[in-house]
Chain A
């Protein structure tokens, strides 16, 4: 495998990791606020905060990892995305800043501040929307290169059905993934009332998720026909993803095997995400940057791959330790520790 392919796979893996852990976090913020508004917070908010407290920082790192790696492996992307994304990128930073710090302020400082909870819940939906802009513009057609530099065509971005369907997909998937995870976590904690609410959330958000996936697919055919064609060639990949979606929803509907259900959700998104990524290639940013044109020089790419492997050897045991202490430790989940 060529090193640029290794590079993009590594980055994609981290973006996928971010997608899962951040979705749980973003959705949880929304559900916590929603539960507060509907006076059900006494049922689920303890559970949510027990999960989030030790991991919120780790979530952020997945994201930092992705964009630092992207600039490292493909410095040209820094130029094109940097020039065009100043505003959406800055908005995303501001939302992340509000979210991260206010989580800490509320959790370690003043408990039960409604304003903090609102900001935490609202940013959880706005961040996926603003971050998905980067994926949207990578399809091409939203930027313009002149001798003056590169500009983002805001009007086109805001009036495009494709960009809005991506935003919608991002938001509903966040709520779906998060509800599915929290259902599992509530079951693990043996928390019946929480389980009942979260199960309802999970089932509720499943249909918009699959509908949004389909509409995004159709909108893609209008935005970037080549990409759409390549995706059609990989139809069986997306078919498998839909099958795992059905397994997950069926299991939750039956009210059994919540752990397996969440694994099915993870596989569903893993396959769809990699299918999307594979059909996106060879372009990273259509039509300006391809995977071979934008790649860094060879010695740096090799160094990055080596460091990446060494880093994983350090990170994986640490992450397992983190999960064993806070995710799979039944006593902790139940709130006894």
Chain B
């Protein structure tokens, strides 16, 4: 009984740390891409608006990166502190990507430091832009390596098990397991998407509330375009992920879809509720769509959850996580496309307040989708910590102090979250982009004022 409670608390502690870290990690991977693109456009078009955009984004990014670094350190240590038996076993196989992740992180940290403090140090601005490349590479590689570890936990391979220890380890086979390609693709594309949507949301918000200038309009157009492109990539990645699940982790897909009986031409269940007999009610059913999602064929057979032994089934509430994630994805794709159509159609006004509010919403919504997606992916492999090899209960610590640590970390994350918001507000409050533009690039500022008028 006591051990059971410790397991639940360990799960809660890890979940809290990861969900908090995910916010900053996602921005950490995605924002440098947007910064780098904006700076390059600024240099190519000789348009200081974009350069200023890159500068201001970077300034806010520094704060989120700081929280990302410290929460990342926390999760790195917590892995061993909260799941010692798991790390003792799996450490033999996942050490390589974990180690490489820190290299990528190191690389990024070094160049981020340089990038931040060399804005005006080079004669040719393109040299400074070049420094953003290692930051982008480092961030994306970090995501890549750490995602391979998570993939390994979903589809372990690259070892043999003898008397409870791993032997004949092949580190590369473990890294490039079946889950790796789709997971990595989905994680990276959705991080880029979320960063773009958050920045688009901010630009739209300022145009709505503070009227915004040419600077904000340029920011909005750039970020919405990026949101649209990354949303398409994410949708493709999501589709590939579903096909992967159908083949390698059918129980996760089946639980996410409330698909109990194995059948051909399976319907896709959207939202709805379950009654006591596990029958689906109040749902929208899209005929044969699940077969298509799982196998690319409307009449293909999809394995149902009943094929999985009862004690190995994930909880059924993850259905909502899956549906929310997908709905937000399509909403973001749709609204960004709508903006682009309004923009290209000369007669229509792309700054329609309704449309802009729709874009403002994509910022928080995509971040929520990231969280929902991770909850679906992680809870969907319950009860396993290493699917097929070790259950979560076997991996947890036996220390009786997990509850106190949970309270401690909850307080710390609360402080960090508040501190981050307060600091971001301080950085930008009372320092609008127009003033900074006038200060740094007086000529452009004068020209854009005429343009506005």
Contact = CB atoms under 8 A, between A and B. Distances in A.
A7 to B, nearest CB: 10
A96 B116 CA distance: 22
A318 to B, nearest CB: 5
Interface string A214-244: 0000000000000000000000000000000
Interface string B85-112: 1011111110110111111011101111
Given A54-B114, A82-B80, A101 B67 contact: yes
B88 A79 contact: yes
A78 B111 CA distance: 31
A68 B167 contact: no
A112 to B, nearest CB: 12
Contact of A104 (B63, B87, B101, B166): B63
B113 interface: yes
Contact of A315 (B95, B107, B419, B420): B107
A318 B76 contact: no
Contacts of A101: 66-67, 70, 416, 419-420
A179 B171 CA distance: 44
B423 interface: yes
Interface string A295-321: 011011001100110010011001101
Contact of B73 (A64, A81, A83): A64
A105 interface: yes
Contact of A64 (B76, B84, B112, B412): B76
B344 interface: no
Given A108-B427, A315-B106, A318-B107, A303 B96 contact: yes
A60 B80 contact: no
B117 A94 contact: no
A83 B397 contact: yes
A32 B358 CA distance: 47
Given A94-B408, A307-B100, A321 B398 contact: no
A322 B76 contact: no
B448 interface: no
A57 interface: yes
Contacts, number: 227
Contacts of A315: 103, 106-107, 110
A60 B59 contact: no
A322 B81 contact: no
A270 interface: no
Contacts of A90: 78, 81, 405, 408-409
Given A297-B166, A300-B96, A337-B121, A65 B102 contact: yes
A5 interface: no
Interface stretch (A22-30, A69-77, A259-267): A69-77
B402 interface: yes
Contacts of B415: 98
A139 to B, nearest CB: 20
Contacts of B102: 61, 64-65, 68-69
A90 B76 CA distance: 11
B169 interface: yes
Nearest to A102: B419
B91 A105 contact: no
Contacts of B412: 94, 97-98
A58 B96 contact: no
A300 to B, nearest CB: 5
A245 B120 CA distance: 41
Contacts of A80: 84
Contacts of A58: 106, 109-110, 113
A67 B398 CA distance: 21
A83 B84 contact: yes
Contacts of B78: 90, 93
Contacts of A78: 79-80, 84, 87-88, 91
Nearest to B13: A90
Contacts of A54: 113-114, 116-117
B327 interface: no
Interface in B401-453: 401-402, 404-405, 408-409, 412, 415-416, 419-420, 422-424, 426-427
B113 A110 contact: no
B109 A57 contact: yes
Contacts of A150: 398
B389 to A, nearest CB: 15
B349 interface: no
Contacts of B83: 82
A14 B88 CA distance: 22
Contact of A60 (B73, B167, B398): B73
Contacts of A56: 113
A53 interface: yes
A72 B118 CA distance: 36
B85 to A, nearest CB: 6
A85 to B, nearest CB: 6
Contacts of A71: 79-80, 87, 91, 95, 98
B69 A110 contact: no
B120 to A, nearest CB: 8
B77 A300 contact: no
A297 B92 CA distance: 7
A87 interface: yes
Question: Which of B67, B80, B422 has the most chain A CB atoms closer than 10 A to its own CB?
Answer: B80
A109 interface: yes
Nearest to A53: B117
A103 interface: yes
B95 A304 contact: yes
B95 A75 contact: yes
Given A53-B117, A105-B63, A300-B92, A61 B105 contact: yes
Given A53-B116, A57-B65, A297-B166, 13 more contacts: A65-B102, A69-B102, A71-B95, A89-B80, A90-B81, A94-B408, A96-B73, A102-B419, A105-B422, A105-B423, A108-B59, A299-B169, A307-B103
Interface of A: 53-58, 60-61, 63-65, 67-69, 71-73, 75-76, 78-83, 85-87, 89-90, 92-94, 96-98, 100-105, 108-110, 148-151, 296-297, 299-300, 303-304, 307-308, 311, 314-315, 318-319, 321-322, 325-326, 337
Q: What 10 A-B pairs are tightest by C-beta distance, nearest first?
A: A82-B84, A72-B95, A75-B91, A104-B66, A109-B423, A149-B398, A78-B87, A79-B88, A54-B113, A97-B70
21 contacts: A58-B106, A60-B109, A64-B73, A64-B102, A65-B106, A68-B99, A71-B91, A71-B98, A72-B91, A72-B96, A72-B99, A79-B88, A85-B81, A101-B416, A108-B59, A297-B92, A300-B96, A311-B103, A311-B106, A315-B103, A315-B106
